[in-house]
Amino acid sequence: MPLISHGIEGHDEDRRAFRFSMLNDNQVVLCQISDAALDELAGMKGTESSERMVQFLAFRQKVEQTASRLFDEGPTLRGSVVRIFSKHFAVESDVVGESELGQSGK
Task: Give alpha helix (H) positions in 1-106.
Answer: 35-42, 52-58, 60-73, 87-104
Prediction pTM value: 0.81
pLDDT tens digits for range 13-25: 999 999 999 999 8
pLDDT tens profile 45-65:
999 999 999 999 999 999 999
All structural domains of the chain with their residue ranges: 4-104
DSSP state of 45: S
CATH architecture of 4-104: 2-Layer Sandwich (3.30)
- Of all residues in the chain, what percent are helix, strand and coil, respectively (each to 5)? 45, 25, 25
Distance of CA 35 to the CA centre of its chain: 10
